[in-house]
Amino acid sequence: MRHVISILVENEPGVLSRVSALFSGRGFNIESLNVAETLDPTISRMTLITTGNEQIIEQIIKQLNKLVNVIKVMDLTGSDFVDREMILVRVRAEATSRAEVLRILEIFRGRVVDVSPKSYTLEITGDEKKIQAVVELLTPFGILEIVRTGKVAIIRAKKDSSHAGKLQEPKSES
Amino acid sequence: MKKTGAEIVFESLKLEGVDTVFGLPGGAVLTLYHAMGRYSEEIRHILVRHEQGAVHAADGYARSSGKVGVCIVTSGPGGTNTVTGLATAYMDSVPLVVFTGQVPTMLIGNDAFQEADITGITRPCTKHNYLVKDVQDLPMIIKQAFHLARTGRPGPVLIDLPKDVIAANTDFSYPSKLKMRSYNPTYHGHPGQIKRAAKLITGAKKPLIYAGGGVILSNASKELTTLAQKLSIPVTTTLMGLGCFPGTHPLFLGMLGMHGSFQANMAVTHCDVLIAIGARFDDRVTGKIESFSPHSKKIHIDIDPTSISKNVPVDIPIVGDARIILKTLMKCLEEEAGHDWDRKHADWNNQITGWKNNTAPQDASCGPCIKPQYVIEKIDEITRGDAIITTEVGQNQMWTAQAFKFTRPRTLLTSGGLGTMGYGFPAAIGAQVAFPDKTVIDIAGDGSIQMNIQELATAVQYNLPVKVAILNNHCLGMVRQWQQLFYEQKYIQSVFDVVPDFVKLAEAYGALGLRATKPEEVEPVIRQALATPKPVFMDFLIDQNECVYPMVPAGAALTEMLLV
């Protein structure tokens, strides 16, 4: 089963290599990986998509926690979360198809970020299904190049008022 | 006060209580060695002949004493030569701090002379590692390194020191406190889980303790022995656990697993509650995983959560320090008053005694040839078990595990996880440095001893009276044994056409060499070696056909033992 794992790590050189080496060294699989700084510049967040049975996912989470630079590991799968991916896609758009490409883009609420006489470069954001749908619809026109960010994900906020507005802090000393 | 990076290293070592380091200088660490001269009163440096020897020696020092072993080596090949030693220590959870030199920060990444990306290379075989980029970070990094090495599940930590960083100056103050938000090992087991474990043990009819190296690392031998004795529970250990429970105790079954005893493998297969303590269900222990202890509920006490349910599903996991947990567990069990444990477990212990009596004892009697088991039993007898034994890897290691009755923790130093040939001799040197007055014996094979034989010069230079018993069969014995049993008796590349004359070789180094070719020469050779206050090589010529039994073929169930 696919799991979305969110990892808070020390923002230091070598951390990404430790995480990726753990996966390759132990024969785990990374489908996508996304890393960026958090509000606290000393901490980075990795969003990682992986697959495996329950036992493998348990090992992955334990092994990640064992890395000295890893502050917190959360398996978002099973909890209520929102995920998004962005793609930049260069699609062939010549006289006859230019209008049609734009129409599809509008339906998916994308944007044109670059134009040439024979192509458009489009920016589209969405969850997995939406991205898959738009790629399928654009394929007949001729996709020249596609760049994907990989998924980012966040847990949905609690909807009762008592938790509203509370900042989520990284793991403190325990 | 202003100090250079090099001085900070030694000041920090002093504050961490380090008085001995093992190493070999080279270009990138000359500044460090230059500063060392001023600390020679407080910190003793043992000059080895190969960096692998330095790490194994520090490892032997650490395993025998419980302290952190420390090494200093140069950049490039100095660092890469430590990799096998680091991997050995990592697999067996040995606390080490290894300092490597590095080219100046300006040159890093330029393929400079003697440059290697040692933090990159050693990432998978260290608990953690550091590249120091600013001398101001050095004290905190050293503090963290020692903390990481000795706490939680111990392990090796590497610190890479660029040449300009150790030459730079800064104000030195060693941090007194340490805060690492991302590293907080659990020591106290979950009280609810411990209660559940106590309940399970109370209800057991056929309980068995399966103890590993974690018991030795957490100094829990006393607590383990108390638990086993009070509740009359039989004990088997892994290779790494030998010595954590007295090998002469009636409740002791010997080692389990591939070369485990008949009774240990039968007991683990038939028990109804298996209490694993500081052991990790290694493939050499479990054999075929589906047939491993199929009738038991399993309790697993381990400080490393990744060890739990990695290979074998566990019913009651308890994460924490073995000693602390065993103490709590004992309290819980004592509350369950009114049990006559001896009587309760009598049937089970009788069944085990039946297995014990059913096996022909390992035949150590010699024909015309010397039997390796006889040599080991004689060493045990003549030293009265009061020795630190190291081994190499292969037949010598398994014969030692089977024949020597280890009665105290930290008296067997052996590369269990990685299985590093060439470990035993430098480890013996390290143990002898830690305990100058103890008898330290490396039980070796003629293949293994040649892998770090250069360290004989180290032993002679520091007058470390290490004894090496070479069980010489002119071959890579364990490889040959597998070829005999599983590869159609085709001995491809496992038999040596040339083996050095170990007696002359010892003499060439300034040590003593002795040889026994007949059984009656064994005892006099051992006695003479032990009476000689300098390093001794004992060359015992043994039968090439002698194999290690019992043996469970790789991938077979533990009950499928080859007995002879």
Same fold, A2-75 and A82-152: yes
Residue B124 and residue A25: Cβ atoms within 8 Å? Answer: yes
B128 min Cα distance to partner chain A (Å): 7
Phi first, then psi: what are they for B43, rounded to 5°? -125, 120
Contact B124 A174 (CB under 8 A): no
User: What does the pLDDT look like over A115-139, one tens digit per residue?
Assistant: 999 999 999 999 999 999 999 999 9
Q: How sure is the predictor about A166, in pLDDT bands with cuts at 50, 70 and 90?
A: very low
Pairing, β B412-413 against β B388-391: parallel
Q: With contacts defined as CB-CB under 8 Å, which chain B residues touch A65?
A: 305
B334 sits in which H/E element: helix B322-335
Nearest Cα residue in chain A from B132: A13
pLDDT, greater one: B279 or B367: B279
Residue B395 host element (H or E): helix B395-403
Q: What is the mean pLDDT of residues B448-457?
A: 98
- Stretch B106-126: mean pLDDT: 96
Residues of B labelled catalytic: 51, 113-114, 163, 478
pTM equals 0.93
By C-alpha distance, the chain B residue nearest A14 is B120
Q: Give the residue from A12, A29, A33 showing the smallest Cα distance to A152.
A: A33
Taking the CA of residue B183 and the nearest CA in chain A, the distance in Å comes to 6
Give phi and psi for B461, each to the nearest 5: -60, -40
Is residue B135 within 8 A of residue B8, CB to CB? The reply is yes
The answer to whether B124 contacts chain A (CB < 8 Å) is yes
pLDDT in tens, B218-273: 999 999 999 999 999 999 999 999 999 999 999 999 999 999 999 999 999 999 99
User: Range with the lowest mean pLDDT among A130-144, A145-159, B376-390?
Assistant: A145-159
Q: Does the ipTM exceed 0.95?
A: no
Q: What is the pLDDT of residue A165?
A: 46
Q: How far is CA B34 from CA B5, B25, B141, B168, B251, in A?
A: 12, 10, 22, 14, 55
Interchain contact, B123 vs A18, CB within 8 Å: yes
> What tokens appear for A143 in the block?
């996709």
Residues of B in contact with A14 (CB under 8 A): 119, 123, 131
Confidence of residue B395 (pLDDT cuts 50, 70, 90): very high
Q: Length of chain B in residues, anyone?
A: 564
The pLDDT-based confidence of A161 (bands split at 50, 70, 90) is: low
What is residue B436's DSSP assignment? T
| A97 Cα to chain B: minimum distance (Å) | 49
Whether B350 contacts chain A with CB within 8 A: no
Percent over 90 (pLDDT), chain B: 95
Closest partner residue to B182 (CB to CB) among A14, A58, A69 is A69
Give dist(CA B316, CA B304) in Å, integer.
15
Q: What is the pLDDT of residue B359?
A: 75
Facing B148 at nearest CB: one of A63, A68, A170: A68
What does the mean pLDDT of chain B come to? Answer: 96
Domain ranges of chain B: 2-171, 191-358, 372-541
In a mutational test of the A interface, the residue from B117, B181, B281 whose CB has the highest number of chain A CBs within 10 Å is: B181
With 60 as the cut, is the pLDDT of residue A170 above it?
no
Q: What is the mean pLDDT of residues B433-446?
A: 98
**Among B130, B182, B183, B281, the residue to mutate for chain A (most A Cβ within 10 A):** B182
**A40-98 pLDDT, tens digit each:** 999 999 999 999 999 999 999 999 999 999 999 999 998 899 999 999 999 999 988 99
For an interface test with A, the pick among B118, B306, B308 (most A C-beta atoms closer than 10 Å) comes out as B306
Cβ–Cβ below 8 Å for A18 and B181: no
The SS3 assignment for B438 reads coil
Residue A68 to residue B183, Cβ atoms within 8 A: yes
Express as a percent the part of chain B with pLDDT over 70: 99
Query: Is the CB of A68 less than 8 angstroms away from the CB of B182?
Result: yes
pLDDT for the residue numbered A171: 47
B372-541 CATH choice from 3.50.80.10, 2.60.40.420, 3.40.50.970, 3.40.50.720: 3.40.50.970
**What pLDDT score was predicted for residue B156?**
98
Interval B294-315 mean pLDDT:
96
Beta carbons of B123 and A171 less than 8 Å apart: no
CATH superfamily of the B191-358 domain: TPP-binding domain (3.40.50.1220)
According to DSSP, the β-strands at B440-445 and B467-472 are: parallel
Domain B2-171 CATH (choose: 3.10.129.10, 3.40.50.1220, 2.120.10.30, 3.40.50.970): 3.40.50.970
Q: Under DSSP, is residue A44 helix (H, G, I), strand (E, B) or coil?
A: strand
Question: For B164, left (φ over 0), alpha (ψ -120 to 50), or beta?
Answer: alpha
| HEC readout, B490-559 | CCCCCECCCCCCHHHHHHHHCCEEEEECCHHHHHHHHHHHHHCCCCEEEEEEECCCCCCCCECCCCCCCC
Query: What's the pLDDT at B361?
Result: 60
The count of CB pairs under 8 A between chains A and B is: 41
Distance set, CA B200 to CA A166, B194, B203, B275, B299 (Å): 43, 10, 5, 10, 9
Where are chain A's structural domains?
2-75, 82-152
Q: Which helix (H) or strand (E) holds B72?
A: strand B69-73
Model confidence band, residue B189 (pLDDT cutoffs 50, 70, 90): very high
Report the candidate in B543, B553, B546 with the shortest Cα–Cα distance to residue B485: B553
User: Nearest by CB to B306, which of A63, A71, A171?
Assistant: A63
DSSP state letter for A97: T
Strand bridging mode B20-23 / B44-47: parallel
Q: Does B182 lie at the interface with A, CB-CB under 8 angstroms?
A: yes
Instruction: Return d(Cα B18, Cα B99) in angstroms, integer.
Output: 14
Query: What pLDDT shows up at residue B209?
Result: 98
Identify all chain B residues contacting A70, using CB atoms and an 8 Å cutoff: 182
- Which pLDDT score, from 0 to 100, does residue A78 have? 85
Q: Region B77-104: what's the mean pLDDT? A: 98
* Separation CA B434–CA B413 (nearest Å): 13
Fold of A82-152: Alpha-Beta Plaits (3.30.70)
Query: Which residue intervals of B22-170 are DSSP H helices?
Result: 30-36, 51-65, 77-80, 83-91, 118-122, 138-150, 163-167
Chain A nearest CA to B179, separation (Å): 8
Given a cut of 70, is residue B548 above it in pLDDT? yes
Is the CB of residue B179 less than 8 Å away from at least one CB of chain A?
yes
pLDDT given at position A164: 45
Q: In what order do the strands lie in the sheet with B69-73?
A: B44-47, B20-23, B69-73, B96-102, B156-162, B128-131
- Yes or no: is domain A2-75 CATH 3.30.70.260? yes
Question: Smallest Cβ distance to B310: which of A59, A68, A69?
Answer: A59
Task: Tell me what the mean pLDDT of segment B536-563 comes to.
Answer: 94
Cα–Cα dist A48/A60, whole Å: 11
pLDDT for residue A110 is more than 70: yes
Asked if B456 and B511 count as a contact pair (C-beta separation under 8 A), the reply is: yes
pLDDT of residue B564: 74
Closest CA to B446 of B385, B492, B515, B383: B515
> CB distance from B183 to chain A under 8 Å?
yes
Instruction: Check whether A172 has a pLDDT greater than 80.
Output: no
Mean residue pLDDT across chain A:
90
